[in-house]
Chains A and B, each alone.
Chain A
Amino acid sequence: MASDDLWVLGIHMTKFGKHPDKDMVDLASESGPWPTAGWP
């Protein structure tokens, strides 16, 4: 892999839909891609 390449290391999304009990920060926090990037 070339040093100037760019890579997606981890990526995640929430279930899309109606989430009246969650605000934007809740949703954004749930989308955290850490496990998919190889971190716990």
Chain B
Amino acid sequence: MTDMGVIAAGSLMAASAGIGQQLQKQLGQTGVPVYNVANACATGATALRVAMMAIKSGEADMGLAFGVEKLSGAGLLTGGSRKDDSGVFTPSGRYGAVAPTDGRIGTEIMPGVFAQIGMEYGHRYGGTSFELFARISEKNHAHSTLNPLAAYSKRMTLDEIMGDFMVAYPNTRPMCSANCDGAAAAVVVSGATLATLSLEQRRRAVKISASVLTTDPWEESCQILPDVNTLTRNAATLAYEQAGIGPSDLDLVELHDCFATAELVHYDNLMLCEQGGAVDFFESGATWRDGTLPVNVSGGLESKGHPIGATGIANVWEVATHLRGEAGPRQIDGAKVGLTHVIGLGSACGVHILEKSAA
């Protein structure tokens, strides 16, 4: 802990608990700055960026970023509140001219929003079906059987997935991310400091070639249906520019499959396929572990789980572990470059591109 010049701590459900300071009492109260972070489903990625920015600014040479959540049994996390005004809307307050849409037009609960987003993609480009979305989930559950740290490591058949409890069409329960407990942490270091460390540490270090955080730009349609597409596409564009690479250079991707429908649209948003081509991209088999661009080899949020504050660092852990060549039976052979993505409604999107060390 004495080497850590900064601590960034992410937790959404305990945003005001001072979790960073609580952890210091266990690991060492060295007096360094602590930043407690809450930023929707991008909380972990944001904590990582806070530690990175402290190093970039010269405030520290090395920093600790962690994310943690206790989420088992939390249920639906937002929206879903029944309106008690009998459908009569009285404008009031700063935003009084606009009625809240939840329960009137669409929904603000996560399963509803992401179901609508998948259905909208199918409406726009065609080719989607209940079975197609279920097969995305089938892939991720199959991948999870090789990840000992996943919350659920059970292979599920297509019939089991489609026949399970329907949460919000077309997403059944196994097609939704799992609310669970968990934590993830990373030590981030400057290149100058890394150069002073051992050859083994330099060999296992993973370069952060791009780190981007975006929010929703104003879109007319966003006023009814939250937009998870534009901010993701903007973040990916910036990340590819920062890293000086393109999607074809990626060896694996960990993207935010909070629902099976979300995974499909993010193939497109992250430009892993041509615009409108996500269905064909998935149908090609590319996103399976033995495909040309494996996606969510960890099992994704649908199997590995989604303890919100931890998720944005856990997906960096997955990619970094492959780049280090330490992923065991699920190792993507020869992995040199990977991308991670998280998105939270409200909105926040984090994208990181990581590269294997040349040391």
- Interface size on B, as a range, is 35 or more
Residue interface bits A5-25, CB-to-B below 8 A is 1, else 0:
111111111111111101111
List the count of A-B residue pairs having beta carbons below 8 Å apart: 176
Q: Is the CB of A8 within 8 A of B205?
A: yes
> How many residues from A make CB contacts under 8 Å with B?
35
Given the complex, which residues of B lie within 8 Å of A12, measured CB to CB?
Answer: 184-186, 317
B181 touches which one: A7, A9, A18, A38 (CB < 8 A)? A18
Between A and B, 6 residue pairs with Cβ closer than 8 Å are A13-B184, A16-B307, A20-B72, A24-B17, A25-B19, A27-B181
A10 touches which one: B22, B152, B181, B186 (CB < 8 A)? B186
Interface of B is mostly: mixed
A27 touches which one: B27, B68, B205, B317 (CB < 8 A)? B68
Residue interface bits B195-214, CB-to-A below 8 A is 1, else 0:
10110111011111001000
Query: Can you add 16 more A-B contacts, CB < 8 Å, to A1-B359, A17-B152, A24-B70?
Result: A4-B192, A6-B55, A6-B207, A7-B205, A7-B357, A8-B188, A8-B206, A10-B187, A14-B182, A16-B305, A17-B305, A24-B14, A25-B23, A27-B70, A28-B26, A32-B185
The 7 closest A-B pairs by CB, nearest first: A16-B305, A5-B191, A13-B184, A16-B182, A31-B183, A3-B192, A38-B201
Shortest Cβ gap from A2 to chain B (Å): 5
Given the complex, which residues of B lie within 8 Å of A38, measured CB to CB?
Answer: 197-198, 200-201, 204
Give the nearest-CB partner of B299 in chain A.
A16
B185 touches which one: A3, A5, A19, A28 (CB < 8 A)? A28
Q: Is the CB of A5 within 8 A of B190?
A: yes
Shortest Cβ gap from A19 to chain B (Å): 4
A24 touching B187 in the complex, CB below 8 Å, given contacts A5-B207, A15-B148 = no
Q: Is the CB of A7 within 8 A of B183?
A: no
Q: Is the CB of A31 within 8 A of B185?
A: yes
Q: Is the CB of A1 within 8 A of B149?
A: no
> B304: CB under 8 A from chain A?
yes
| Chain A interface residues toward B at CB < 8 A | 1-20, 22-25, 27-34, 36-38
Q: Which of B85-93, B94-102, B117-125, B308-316 contacts A (4 or more CB under 8 A)?
A: B308-316
Q: Is the CB of A22 within 8 A of B181?
A: yes
Q: Is the CB of A15 within 8 A of B149?
A: yes
> B11: CB under 8 A from chain A?
yes
> B189: CB under 8 A from chain A?
yes
Give the nearest-CB partner of A13 in chain B.
B184
Q: Is the CB of A31 within 8 A of B207?
A: no
Shortest Cβ gap from B189 to chain A (Å): 4
Q: Is the CB of A33 within 8 A of B149?
A: no
A16 touches which one: B52, B180, B191, B197 (CB < 8 A)? B180
Given the complex, which residues of A lie within 8 Å of B175, measured CB to CB?
Answer: none
A14 touches which one: B62, B183, B197 (CB < 8 A)? B183
